Amino acid sequence: MSKKVKSLIEKEISSRLGDIEAIAVVNPRGINAVANNQMRRRLREKKLRMTVVKNTLVTRAIGQSKLKGFEKLLSGPSAVVYGKGVGISAIARAILEEKKAIEALELRGAFFDGEIYEGEKGVQTASKLPTREEAIGLIAAAVASVGRKLAAAVASPAIRIAGSVKAIEERVKEKAGAAEAPAAQQ
């Protein structure tokens, strides 16, 4: 392959992976063309793409991007699975589903935020991480929980005071009613 062609391929890979924060690496060897196309179609439905890459070219293409460090997963024939705006857990879940459908698919690992999840066990670990939406929901619930506890703590003394005032008021009415009853008898 000439240097010009390699340069063009590097630019293409760089443009595809430039904004990507999470990526998974699989070994496409042993998968026939029909299964490969079906897998790519299912991944596309989940807004994911699979690209077979030359290890040295992808390593040079990512340079100092957010994916720096994932090249440790590259050895032998490699295909990267990625998606714009898709988190690591969604990618990991998708390739685990593909592994169930295609036994020959070898999962090399996943990479997110400078951390490598190596092998099939690593991909399973990554699949259990919350998605971006789930994480936002968990944070919102935690913040709302603190707000509820604060409101209850502030309202609790006021409720006690109101209850005490009402009890005193009822006692006063009872005493006034009891004092009026003997006066009415005379």
- Helix intervals (H) in the chain: 3-17, 33-45, 55-62, 88-101, 119-127, 132-185
- Number of residues written out for the chain: 186
Residue 82 β-bridge partners? 49
Where are the chain's structural domains?
3-129, 130-186
Instruction: Give the pLDDT confidence of 163-183 residue by residue, as tens digits.
Output: 777 778 888 777 777 666 565
pLDDT for position 184: 57
Contact status, residue 108 vs residue 119, Cβ threshold 8 Å: yes
Instruction: Give the pLDDT confidence of 57-98 residue by residue, as tens digits.
Output: 877 877 777 777 777 778 888 888 888 877 888 888 888 888
Domain 3-129, CATH: 3.30.70.1730
Q: Report d(CA 140, CA 21) in Å as an integer.
A: 23
Specify the pTM. Answer: 0.66
- Residues in Cβ contact with 183 at an 8 Å cutoff, skipping those fewer than 6 apart: none
Q: Report d(CA 185, CA 87) in Å as an integer.
A: 84
Q: Which of 176, 179, 147, 37 is nearest to 98 (CA)?
A: 37
